[in-house]
Every structure is written in structure tokens, then in C-alpha cells.
Chain A
């Protein structure tokens, strides 16, 4: 049995699961850069992200969404990869701020990465420097749309193209000492 919504056909089980995933996003906010300061107003009274079912998670095991807030130093990239790989499928990444797109104001810095996309798969970008809470929420809503349509499967792409990602990652992280990752 299938169900059609917005011209997308889905089996009913899938549809219900995606509906639940969409309305319950546990966010692991990885406060790498200055963007982390925008998370508290997003979560608290004024903008109240919880009305969309968005809620903070404490560890990658419980989280659905990895929120990269701002620039990523080469040192913290290793941690981000580690955290991303520890998350459970289905998992999504929201990249936040210009820095994650093209390096932003740190575009020529020796110790930040420019495009996050080359190291872990990103589902939604939120541009701006800083993006305001409204923009963050709109980014989450965009992610919800993707989830509902069943398209948010970038994590599978990561598994399929692991070699390419690893190559890129190893270019940045010189002392590569990650544990074996069993899928």
C-alpha cells in the first residue's frame, strides 16, 4: 500500500516512519565556531524550536541531526567526523553559516577547512554570517521537507563513497588515527 503526498509515492510504513522522523529531531549542536551563540535563542522562549519537535541531544548515540555551527578548524574536523560516524542511521547534517559553505571570512585561513561538503555529506546549508534564529528554523523546516519526501539519505551516500571522503579527510588530518569503523 502506498500513499501519495506532494506527488511523492511512499509505502505507508515508510510514510509513517518519515513523518515521525520529521517531527522528532534530536539535535547534537556541535559548537565549533562563533555560530554556537545562535543556538540558545533558537531553543528558548523567543523562537522556541521545540514546537517543531526539535530538541537537544547530549550524545551522538541519541542524536538525529548534527548541527555544525560555523567554521571548522582542522583539529575539530577530526572530532566532527568521529561524532558523525558514531550517530545512528538515519542521520542528517545541517551546516550553519557561510564558513561551512566556502570558508566565509576564514576562506584563506591556514587552519580551517573551506567546504564541509568534501568531508561529510551535508543535507541542508544555512547561509549567513550569522544566520539568525529564523534562518536556523527555516533550515530545519527545509530538512523536515526533505525527510518527509524520503530524500534525506545523504548518510547512505557517505557509506557508498567512503573512500572518496576518507581521501579528503586524510588530506586535512595528517595524523590519521581513527578506530576501525564497522558499519
Chain B
């Protein structure tokens, strides 16, 4: 049997079995889901060779599945993160209800994403895309909270995306008479010069999933309200499907200078490129500003995901070798660290009951491993050397400065990433540092099946920091597949086109040497006289805080910043969409006056129509 079918079959069977077992025991059901995803991953990475394709007819339409180096990058994210997240969710979902439904949809989402990666034609691509949307919709409303607002928003925006994608597919079929992606690319369907609507419609479809402004409004609540073990996938892998699509389209639009000839002297691609890049940057800025005002750790992470996706969009839109590489690298690394962070948030939620940072604090001594993961992931998220996040950020900045002429874009991106330090600190401080309060006295460390995936992810972040070449290898191959030539990379040296470079090995060596020396010095010096005290033993002008007194500083955390940046908080995309929504509503209200829902009125309409027809029959139906 063909490995393509086998992989999908294993996943589908896993989904079905875990659904059936969900009634019996959530642990068994979760284990089945984990085993099916893990075995599918093993099969994928051992059995499938790059650039293998199969074709089979569906009626008169020729379908094609296959795997190329470009899809391989995203398969790494989906299957790697999917296996870890399903291992994680065994404990996370342990005492919850309706786990059968959860695992069914969970595995189905993974299946559909693998399907999207396999798809080499638009029909199966679209079908899998819709399966992904629907199954994720069921997971978003899994907690039955705010179904109306969150679910409906997600559905509306997904529908917008899906319809525009469908329209584009139909147009491709109409214009080029093909459903195969490679044929469409060959025929130049994505070229801006040939047809402006196809690429734009496709981009809208993908931008919805990649949560690019102004299509991002569904994301914050959808991310923060679904079960955390799914959000790992949702933010870490599913949003990358949008990135996959955008990369495919965008590269064709701008980089038929992939052969590194000049961009066509056509003005509109440049406008589109700049528009998209600016949209990405503005997304990053606004999402960051909102992230640092959140009191709920999950929402903070949700907004931060949107911001990070903004960087990726910028990288893709600039479209040079370095920037696309940076974007794809950031896509993978974002999957890793945001996956880890959502896992952390889930662990805290499970152990402490809530992720509201005004209620939980001082968990560091109770959940040391979770804190370690959070620390590593946050360092990567902030883009501070020497972890993987820095590598991506560095390449993005260098490409913006050296290869694009949009210097003001750099400032915007930089503003966003500097402000990101604020919410990075907030996340760590809010959950893990600060006072150890009464309310969280009995919190224990998360179970080992949750710790292991988190630790694996944090180790991955360190490895990608020291040897980013591990990821450059598949990325470079993938980029060559989609049309770049001679993508060069080095194991741990990052370089730009001006010939400047950063050697990560030297960075690591320096940091590790200084760390060891300073740690030994500071620990051994006066070891006997060093004592550890509780967080109640602080200098409070001599006042003695009582056990129940709350000394945590959490409310209005970044008030000075908020005051300084007040004008930027005035506008919100949500409001604009709401206005559009209420405008549409009044339009529909008007329509409603005609379609009253009363049978008698409709009867009158029918009679009136008939009378009209009879009166006008001579003029209308002359023949």
C-alpha cells in the first residue's frame, strides 16, 4: 500500500478509535491518538522520500499527491509538534469531559494538515483546508465559552478566506484549465502581470489563517479559548498553513527574480509587496501593544502569536533570499517556542486552576521544570541571543536593512520587538515570579507526560540557537524547490549580503564560559553565609506582611507605558469590523422588510411577479 494513503489511514483510524474509546477512558483515548500521530510521523520521516508523487483520478479530475522539500519544512512542524502536543494532552485532558470528541477533532486537524502538505492539486488542497477549518472550529468551541462570539467570528473569517480561495481556484481552472498546483505555477497563474485577482484572492484566503491584519480579529479569543493542548497546534502549526500558502503565492509574485534577476518593472507587485509588508509590521505592532495589556496569560500568548506571524509575513513579503529564509526559520522556531509557551500556560491552568496573572503568582519553586521551559521559550520569543529566536530575528532585520529599501519598516518591526520585552517579562513575572500567595500554596509540578514535551521543545530551542544549520538545511532545500537558486547556508554562521556575520558558536562559547565562571564564583563565595528566605521576608519599611496580605503587583502592570502610548490604543480593528457588521445588519434589516417571513406576503410577491411577467411578456420574450 502506498505510504501516502497509509499515513492518512493511520491518522483517520486513530481519530475514529480515540473517538470510540473516549467514552471509556480519556487516558486510553489520548494514548491512541498519540500513538497514531507518532506512528504516522515515524512513517512519514522514514518511508517517504522527497519528490515522490502519486496520481489518481477522481471522476474526470486528475488528483496528485506528493511531498517535496518545501512541504517537508511544514511537515516537520506539523508532525513534530503534533506528536508532542498529543503526548502532552494525555495528562492535560485527563479529567475533562467529552474527550472522545476532542481527540477525534485533534487527530483530524493533524490529518488535514498532513493532507494539505501532501496536496499537489487545488481540489484536495481545498478539501483538506475545509476539514481543517471545521475540525478546528469544533475545538475552539469545545469549552462552550462565548460560542456565539468566538465561534461565529472564526467561522465568518474562515468563510471569507475559503470563498476567496474557491473563487481563485475556479478562476485558475477557467483561465488555465488545470487543477494541479505545479501546472498553475508553470502557466504563470500566480504572476501578477497575468491576472491580479488570483494571487490577491489566494492571499486573502491564506492571510485569514495566518492572522494578518485586518483579518486577525478572530485569533486572540480563538487561541485563548480552545483547550491549551490544541492551541499548541492551532498557533504553532495551523497558522503555518497560512504561511505555507502565502510563501507559495508570494514567491511567484515577486521572485521570478528567484533567478535573482531584477523584479519586473511592473509597479503593482511592488505596491502589493509593500502593502503586505506594512500590514505584517502593523499587525506585529498592534498585536504587541495589545499583548502587553493582557492580564490573562493565554490571551497574552494569543496576541503575541499574531505579532510573531506579523514578522513572518514581513519576511515573506520582502521576498529576498535572506528574508524568506528568515520567515521560514521564524515559522519553525515560532512553532517550537509558542508551542512550548502554550504548553506552559496549559500546565499552569491545570495545576493552579487559572492563568489569570492577577490571581496566580510565585509558581517558580512549585513548578521548576515548567518555569525552565517558560524561561527558555521566552528568551527565544524575545529574540535574545543565543537561542533560536534570535537567529530568525537577526536574519529578518539584516534582510530588511540590507536588501529592502523600506527602512521605516525596520523601525516599526523593531518597535514591536522591543515592546515585546515588556510582555515577555510580564508572562514570566505574572505566573512564576513575585510573591508566593496563599491561593497557590498547594500547587504541584505538572505530571511527567506534560513535562517531557516541554523539555524537548526547550532543548530544541537551544540546539537551533547553536546550530541553526540543522533547520537551514531543509529550509534551503525547500526554497530551492519553490524557485530560489543557490540558497547558501552555514551550520552556525549567519551572514548578510554585505558580508557581515554572526558566529553562533562564539556567542555560545562566550556566554557559557562567563556563565560557568560567574556561577561558580557567586555560588561558592560566602556559601555558608548565603541563606534563602521566603518572599514574605522583604524590606517593606519595617512593616511585617501577614500571611494573607497580598503584596503582588499585577494590576495595571504597564500603566506608565500605556499612558505614554495612549494614542495608539484608541483604534481597534475589532471596532471597525463591528461597524461594518452593523452596517451590513441594517442592510439585511432592509432586506427583511421585503422578505418578511410571512407566507401571505410571499404569495403577493408571486402574484405580483406573475402579473408583471404577463404584462411584460411581449417585450421580454419576443422570440
Chains A and B touch each other in the complex, with CB atoms below 8 Å apart: yes
Contact present for B542 and A83 (CB under 8 Å): yes
A177 to B545, CA, bound (A): 10
Contact present for A179 and B539 (CB under 8 Å): no
Residues on A with C-beta less than 8 A from B537 are 86, 179
Q: Which of B46-54, B342-350, B528-536 contacts A (4 or more CB under 8 A)?
A: B528-536
Residues on A with C-beta less than 8 A from B510 are none
Contact present for A79 and B543 (CB under 8 Å): yes
Residues on B with C-beta less than 8 A from A8 are none
A79 to B543, CA, bound (A): 6
* A1 interface residue per 8 A CB criterion: no
Residues on A with C-beta less than 8 A from B543 are 79, 82
A60 with B539, Cβ < 8 A, contacts A182-B531, A182-B533, A183-B531 known: yes
Of B537, B539, B544, most buried by chain A (CB within 10 Å of CB) is B539
Instruction: Bits for A66-108, please: 1 = Cβ < 8 Å to B, else 0.
Output: 0000000000101110110010010000000000000000000
From A61, A76, A78, A89, give the contact of B544 (CB < 8 A).
Answer: A78
A183 to B543, CA, bound (A): 20
* B541 interface residue per 8 A CB criterion: yes
Return B527 CB to nearest CB of chain A, in Å. Answer: 15
Residues on A with C-beta less than 8 A from B529 are 89
A61 to B531, CA, bound (A): 13
Residues on A with C-beta less than 8 A from B536 are 179
Taking CB atoms and an 8 Å cut-off, the chain B residues in 519-567 that contact chain A are 529, 531, 533-534, 536-537, 539, 541-544, 546
Contact size class for A? Answer: 10 to 19
* A59 interface residue per 8 A CB criterion: yes
A61 to B537, CA, bound (A): 11
B544 (CB) vs chain A CBs: closest residue: A82
A62 (CB) vs chain B CBs: closest residue: B539
Instruction: Bits for A153-183, please: 1 = Cβ < 8 Å to B, else 0.
Output: 0000000000000000000000001110011
Return A10 CB to nearest CB of chain B, in Å. Answer: 20
Residues on B with C-beta less than 8 A from A83 are 539, 542
Return B283 CB to nearest CB of chain A, in Å. Answer: 42
Of A76, A78, A82, most buried by chain B (CB within 10 Å of CB) is A82
Return B435 CB to nearest CB of chain A, in Å. Answer: 14
Residues on B with C-beta less than 8 A from A179 are 534, 536-537, 544
Return B544 CB to nearest CB of chain A, in Å. Answer: 6
B545 (CB) vs chain A CBs: closest residue: A179
Return B106 CB to nearest CB of chain A, in Å. Answer: 48
B533 (CB) vs chain A CBs: closest residue: A182
Residues on A with C-beta less than 8 A from B544 are 78, 82, 177-179
A178 to B539, CA, bound (A): 14
B539 (CB) vs chain A CBs: closest residue: A59
A170 to B534, CA, bound (A): 24
Return A88 CB to nearest CB of chain B, in Å. Answer: 8
A182 to B542, CA, bound (A): 17
A83 to B543, CA, bound (A): 9
Residues on B with C-beta less than 8 A from A178 are 544
A80 to B536, CA, bound (A): 17
Contact present for A79 and B539 (CB under 8 Å): no
B537 (CB) vs chain A CBs: closest residue: A179
Return B548 CB to nearest CB of chain A, in Å. Answer: 13
A78 to B536, CA, bound (A): 16
Return A154 CB to nearest CB of chain B, in Å. Answer: 18
Of A61, A78, A86, most buried by chain B (CB within 10 Å of CB) is A86
Contact present for B542 and A78 (CB under 8 Å): yes
What are 8 of the A-B contact pairs (CB < 8 Å)? A78-B542, A79-B541, A79-B543, A82-B543, A86-B539, A177-B546, A182-B531, A183-B531
Q: B residues bordering A, Cβ < 8 Å?
A: 529, 531, 533-534, 536-537, 539, 541-544, 546
Question: Which 10 pairs across A and B sit closest by C-beta, in order of nearness?
Answer: A79-B542, A59-B539, A83-B542, A82-B542, A60-B539, A86-B539, A82-B544, A61-B539, A182-B531, A179-B537
Q: A60-B539, A86-B539, A179-B544 are in contact. List 4 more A-B contacts (CB 8 A).
A: A59-B539, A78-B542, A177-B544, A179-B536
